[in-house]
Structures are given as C-alpha cells and as structure tokens.
Structure 1
Amino acid sequence: MMLRLVFSSLALLLVAQGVLAQEAERPPVSQCQLIAQALPQVQFASYNPTASVGGSVIPAQLQEDVTISFVGHSTFQIDTPGGVSIATDFNGWLRTSRTPDVVTMNKAHSSHYTMNPDPAIATVLQGWNEARPGEKIEHRIVVGDAYVRNVSTDIRSWGGEFEPNGNSIFIFEVAGLCIGHLGHLHHELTDAHYAEIGRLDIVMVPVDGGLTMGAESMSRTIKRLRSAVVLPMHRRGPIVDSFLAMFDDSFDIERSQNSGFTVSMRTLPKKPLILVLAGV
C-alpha cells in the first residue's frame, strides 16, 4: 500500500513538473494582438507586471506614464514606468540619454543597426534572421514591465528585388499601451500582417517619401492602423509635408517644440493626432 502511494505521488509530481515546464515555454499573451476578431464581445487577455519601489509593490495600473523621445533618423527612446529604457533602430552613434536596456534593429542600412552594440546593453533584438537569411526571426520577450515582439516584413535591396523577412515591425506593450515601430517598411501590409500586429495606440512611421514607401501608400497604412498618435520619422528633406498632406481633418496635426512627450492610456487623444516632434 505504501509503495503504491509513493508511485502515485511520484506520478503526480512528474505531471506537475510537466505542466510547469509547458507554462514556462509558453510566450506571454499579447494584449494588443487581434486573436479573435470574428467573435463578439471578446476581451483580450493580458499580463499585469508589477514593480517594487522602497520595498512596496506598486500595481502596474498605477504606473501609467511612458516617455517617448525622438533621438534621430528612426531612433526613438522609450522609457517605461518601471524604469526600462528601449531604443529603436539602434545604430550605436545616435546617442540616447542613457544606456538602453533593450535595443531593436533593422537591416536596411547601417543607420538602422550596429553589429557592435555596447556590451552593457542587456537585450539586443535584430529584426532579421542572421543565421538563416530569408526566414522569419521571432522575438517574444518580457523585460521588466515591457513586452517586446515583432512582425516580419520583406525588405527591398539596393538592386530593387525584395528579400523575404528582412525587416521587422517591433511592438512594445507597456503600461497598457501598444507602441509600434514600422522599421524600414517597403511594402503595404497584408491582412495577415494587420492581424498579427493587432492594435497600435502609437505608431512610428517613416515619411521619407520613397526610400521606404511613397506618402500615399504609407498614409493608407496609417489610416488602416487607426492609431491614436502617429509619430513621423526617417524624414528626407520636406517630405514630411507630403505625408501630412495625405490626411484630412479627421486627423489633428501638431508640430512640437519638444523632442519628446509623456503619454498614458488615460491621456491618449480621442481624435487621431500626427505629432511631429522637434528634430524630425
């Protein structure tokens, strides 16, 4: 009888360990991704990270403010309520105000990546698959109070042909906000891309007028994403005006005197805003 109980306990322990292992391997659930678009009254699942300050645990919903600053070209610095600093399209020579905890990169040109990032940067995420060119790279990672994931898109080479999965749209889920950086987007997105991206409250969009996509194609992409805040980047000459001209009065347009701003879920504008930060 005792031997049977030992075997039963061992079996239960092995089952429990198997369940825990499966849970550990399971990626975080995105609060931004459209996972059941066709179903009525669907609520998105989400995780609720916490932070500790002075020994007290502060619920994530009380940590609201995210600061976004334009550094240059297509690099933004995102500072989370929990103290995580993220730099987009990090090239190593555009300097952020502090050493980032996370950097994302895209392959298009040397102004979008570096092969020699500062060793002090804990998390470096390339938007292309260095080991298996042409195959998708997949990032699903939680750093502090930020969840970072990517959606692969194709990229146009200098010769004009397209290379599969050479670019990534990086999505940062922070304090309830869904923040997307389109990278060096060279083509309009498919329905599958939009489903994989999900909701973007804030989107960083290249407005060079041709090195990525023309103003008309890019504006169609932005209108479909229906983000609350649109942040132009990757400007060449007066192209930002061509991009702005594609939008009617259903969008507000603001040219800021500052290179950065602070935002939260509660302070998102009700009407879509194209915010041109200083330095763009």
Structure 2
Amino acid sequence: MRLVAQWVLLIVLFVAFYAFFRQPGDPLPDLTRWIPVALLAVCAVVVSVFIGKRVQKGWTLSSEGNQLLSRGRIAAALEKFEAAHLLLKSRSQGILPFNLGVCHLDLWHLDAAEREFTRAQDTKELPESIRRLIPARLALIAALQGALSIADKRLGEARALDEEDPLIVLVNGVIACRREDWAQARLLLHGPATHILGGPLRGLRDALLAWSVERVSGERRYVDPITVFGEASTDKLRDAWPALVAFLLERAQQVA
C-alpha cells in the first residue's frame, strides 16, 4: 500500500512540476497512457484499505475473545475467536487455532479441540511459547477418549518440552482413573501440582480426586458438576467417558 501511494504521489508531483515550469504556449503532456496505471493504483489502495480494516477488525475480535476467556465466558470467547479467524486466516500465525482449541477443550468438544490444536501445531509461524503447550492438551484429549497408548506417547512429548506443566499431572491422573488404578490417581491428584489449574480443568481434577478417594476409602466427597461442565452440555464428555459423567450426575442428584 505504501509503495502504491508513493507512485501516485510521484505522478501527481510530475504533473504539478511540469505545469509550473513549462513555457507559455507549451502543450500539457499526454497523460492518457497513465490512466490505466492510475486506475490500478487507486484500486490497489482501495483493496489495501479494505484488507487492512479486516485485519484490524480480526485482531480486535481476538482481543475481545481473550478478555472473555479470562473471565470464564468460554462460549462467547469461542464465537469471537471463530469470527476473528475468518478475517485473519493465516495472519494469526496459529494463535487463533490454539485459542479455538482451548475453548473447545473447556467445552469438552474433544474432536474439535484436537483438530484446532493440531492445526496450530502444524503452523510454522506459531510462537514456541505456545507450541510447547499443545502436546499436554492433546494427551489430555486422548486420555479422556480412552486412547491411552496415544496419550502416553503425547505425554512423553509434553514432558520433553515442559516437565513442570501441571496439566501433565492431570493427564496422568486421568490415565490412572481410566486404568482403574485409583490409589495412584488419588496420589497424583491430591498433590499441589494441579492446584494452579482453573476453570473446567480444575473441576475435572476435583471430580477425579473425589472419585478416586471414594474408590479407595469409600469416603464420599462433595462434587459440583457445574465446575466440570460450566457452559457445556454433558453430551460430549459422556460420549468420551460415560462412567465419569454418570458419577458426576449421580452426585448432582444427591446434592439436589
């Protein structure tokens, strides 16, 4: 856009200088051959302005989505990120697919979350600080779906990138529960490493801890299903792990 504007300015300056310095009676230069160039330049400027406004709008929507996500309004954030992605496409450098994956995971849309995280991971321009967060989330998705061998493989990738990621402990807890190793699950989830988790992931941790404690000792702990499901329905998580959802709904009925 800047280059086009410079050419337009040069043409205008040329005409202005010629008109100022020409001798009286000299004809004005024939500029008809420059008309197509001028039209192309104007079109290029218009298109550049249009694209620039789309990009600016896209980043504004992305910023609004981040604010909503930080306040726990996941469904609204998802809408903002989807709208931003339509405007920005590849300009987001994989950040928007990652944010979409985060929203889908918090809503337990596991297939959609895996698709978005994979798309972000395949983006070469994705910042390394974000790339290192993806394997643990893909491992969690696989573990929730019961694909434990895949979860173990992805967990190895996550450890290689960030061994202290608290999500790794949660994934290990999910795997232990899936394998009905309740004592190991209780040991993992009771530790302080997962206390930093928030939102539905913290709700999942609390639910799995209560479940494992009950299986080991018979102690029934209070579980609030809302902390797990939040704005999500029970259907998606039930499809992946029916026993967990049955446990949560049973507790909800007991509280009611």
TM-score, normalised relative to structure 1: 0.29
TM-score, length basis structure 2? 0.31
- Structure with bigger strand share is 1
